[in-house]
Amino acid sequence: MVEAILANGPEHEAEILRTSLLRKAWGKTAVLYRNHRQGDEMKALLGAEFPHVQFMTMHASKGLEFDTVAVIGVADGIIPDPDADIEEERRLLYVACTRARDRLFVIGRSDERGRPGGFARELGCSRPGDDVGYRAA
């Protein structure tokens, strides 16, 4: 199953994770992010509530597999990082998404006008409840 969701920022990402993903018993679960700042923020918002969930960077997830993966912060300026090669960033996102064996949640962030960034748009991120996002079983 793949679900692409659009969030307003880190607090909204945490709420989506809290209500849609992490409360369910879906086996070995990981939350993947682009940089340590994102990880520290998400661990502060969620870590104590979900000690069974692994939080790690996309780079650290290489070679690992999880039953359920949530890739967060898919937004221009985060992933892709403006200081990195766009194709390398695309490959990194691919690696993160392919860590999921059964369920993948991609959470993109909207810009100030409520629109998804480039990668989030390509992945079909939409607001929870919209029928625009990519959802596949």
pLDDT tens for the chain, residues 1 to 137? 888 888 888 999 999 888 877 667 678 999 999 999 999 999 999 888 888 899 999 999 999 999 999 999 998 989 889 999 999 999 999 999 999 999 999 998 877 777 777 888 888 777 655 544 444 43
Q: Report pLDDT for 130.
A: 52
Q: Report pLDDT for 134.
A: 40
Q: Report pLDDT for 62.
A: 96
Q: What are the φ and ψ backbone dihedral angles of 95, each rounded to 5 degrees?
A: -60, -45
H helix intervals, the chain: 10-16, 36-42, 86-97, 118-122
Length of the chain: 137
Partnered with residue 67 across adjacent β-strands are none
Q: Report pLDDT for 122.
A: 80
**Structure token pair of residue 6:** 């659009």
Q: Is the pTM of this model over 0.95?
A: no
